[in-house]
Structure 1
């Protein structure tokens, strides 16, 4: 009797287990089906978005091709790809520590410093002098007598890179070009040009020219911007398109029949007090030469004029008409002048940018003529 009871209980237990298994199985199957449906829907939405983006890109490209064809202008497809990524706006403050470090790296003996005309620091040593203005203009006349005299242009570049590295100025070889001075096989000296770049983009009008004469007599002149760049968030640049760039270029007074290439560049807008702002630009190469387009104003000037340091002054940006975020972006974080804690994380030399009339006096982004 007892055995019969146990057998009956076992059969009942098995029936309950058999009843539970199909219920959980159906729930699991339903969940998997729902997830699969969600994935299919998401993939369909993603495909639609990408397809619509491709359609808009194709329509824009077709519109630009038609616009250029009406004027008989040829343009390579690579130009469109470059114009898709608009350069940013950066602001910097001159780093006096870097300036002094370079002066002490160039000078020997007892180094003395003093101010000249209030905005130019001058350092003197036993082997020469170094002056650096708040506008970024550097003028050094020194003798590197403790360094071995270079026997080739490559050695001259290495010597100059080594001296600059002592001040924390890292100059890649691709930024430098050197040519021998004079004729013949003897060491008549070397001329070395150094261009400056910011976040991988060239700063037009900024760079140094070094003349290293026999006996290691060095003359170092030019404009070099020191300080860490702080990105400014300009809303107008977030919606800037390749089509706008071509509209601005075609609206200028220059004449050309072919756009060979395009690349982003910066032009330094120098301000008093050692504050600098980069002007985002496009440099277009045409059969008639290179031209630089100021993205914020639409002004176009010859690239050679900027490289020579003498540009035609154009109207400054009216910041009442420019939609931008207050403050400076540092590592992806925005700091405003409302007392937010984000301001405390910025260096003391960083100033926030106001709006309206205050911005006109604080930030004049235009083709500035350097004094």
Structure 2
């Protein structure tokens, strides 16, 4: 047989093998999607039939695709944040407490922070308090999303949440207090930030949405909670800082008619969102 004919036969055989492999892969993907869809439909039905918890099928999110990340404290980042907030610093920090030309700031290893600013040090000019807060924190390498602006007496409280690459870090919020057209303090105990740049923490399996729905039903029943309807899901991260390095773990913030919850997509833990 001539080489050219033999070569054509080999090419046709390889093409046929590739087509067969493609059909096999597509078939398995279809089966996987079909199984996932059926599991979701079953979970929605069980939630209603067993727990009388309503959730619209169209409201369910895609499966979680955020990675687990680790966060190690970066003293240089902390120093840059202190300088961006306080201006020129005076002396060496003591116990993570910084003093500068605009006031003082206290940082903590778990990400907590607070600040007291001198009168006249941080005027907001013609900016709205929320816009000033976002810009100030951006200078501190803290990408912020405004959650609430609240007036109380002559003070304006702006609460923000930190984002990492556009995704919310649910545990990292800060409250900035404005009085008479200037920033006066960042509240202690309710303000928390990432202490370093998140890095890949390896691949960890996450629970499916259908499984988390079943776990939520068990949680509601076991803890005597009241929930009639699940309204919305938002993907993001929970900061676990009990160990070193800390971890950013993928999670859902779930809105219900009786309050919001965090669903940890790696451990399956469910807790209320305070």
Cα RMSD (Å) of the superposition? 3.2
User: What's the CA shift for 1:62?
Assistant: 3.7
User: What's the CA shift for 1:261?
Assistant: 1.9
User: What's the CA shift for 1:249?
Assistant: 0.6
User: What's the CA shift for 1:195?
Assistant: 0.6
Output the CA distance in 1 between the equivalents of 2:110 and 2:270: 24
Output the CA distance in 2 between the equivalents of 1:135 and 1:25: 70
For 1:76, the equivalent position in structure 2 comes to 56
* Contact in 2 for aligned 1:197/1:203 (Cα 8 Å): yes
For 1:260, the equivalent position in structure 2 comes to 231
* Contact in 2 for aligned 1:260/1:287 (Cα 8 Å): yes
* Contact in 1 for aligned 2:64/2:265 (Cα 8 Å): no
* Contact in 1 for aligned 2:124/2:183 (Cα 8 Å): no
Output the CA distance in 2 between the equivalents of 1:191 and 1:243: 38
For 1:287, the equivalent position in structure 2 comes to 257
Q: Return closer, same or farther for 1:166/1:63 CA change in 2, 3 Å cut-off.
A: closer
For 1:251, the equivalent position in structure 2 comes to 218
Q: Please state whether the residue corresponding to 2:40 is helix, strand or coil.
A: helix
* Gaps in structure 1 of 5+ consecutive residues: 1-21, 306-371
Q: Give CA-to-partner distance per residue, 1:245-303, whole Å, 9 cap, x none.
A: 1121111133323222222333323337x742334432222222212233455443221
Q: Give CA-to-partner distance per residue, 1:90-109, whole Å, 9 cap, x none.
A: 32122222222222233356
Output the CA distance in 1 between the equivalents of 2:23 and 2:87: 70
The equivalent position to 1:59 in structure 2, one of 8, 32, 38, is 38
1:192-231 to 2 correspondence within 5 Å?
192-214=158-180, 216-221=182-187, 222-231=191-200
Q: Return closer, same or farther for 1:63/1:270 CA change in 2, 3 Å cut-off.
A: same
* Contact in 2 for aligned 1:122/1:129 (Cα 8 Å): yes
TM-score after normalising by structure 2: 0.79
Q: Return closer, same or farther for 1:136/1:70 CA change in 2, 3 Å cut-off.
A: same
* Contact in 2 for aligned 1:89/1:277 (Cα 8 Å): yes
Indicate the structure (1 or 2) with the bigger Cα radius of gyration: 1
1:27 aligns with 2:17: no
Output the CA distance in 2 between the equivalents of 1:295 and 1:177: 23
* Gaps in structure 2 of 5+ consecutive residues: none
TM-score after normalising by structure 1: 0.61
Q: Return closer, same or farther for 1:213/1:76 CA change in 2, 3 Å cut-off.
A: same
The equivalent position to 2:105 in structure 1, one of 108, 119, 130, is 130
Count of residues in correspondence between the two structures: 266
Q: Give CA-to-partner distance per residue, 1:51-97, whole Å, 9 cap, x none.
A: 32233224323432342242233222244443x12544332122222
Output the CA distance in 1 between the equivalents of 2:13 and 2:93: 76
For 1:103, the equivalent position in structure 2 comes to 82
Output the CA distance in 2 between the equivalents of 1:218 and 1:226: 23
For 1:44, the equivalent position in structure 2 comes to 23
Q: Return closer, same or farther for 1:27/1:261 CA change in 2, 3 Å cut-off.
A: same
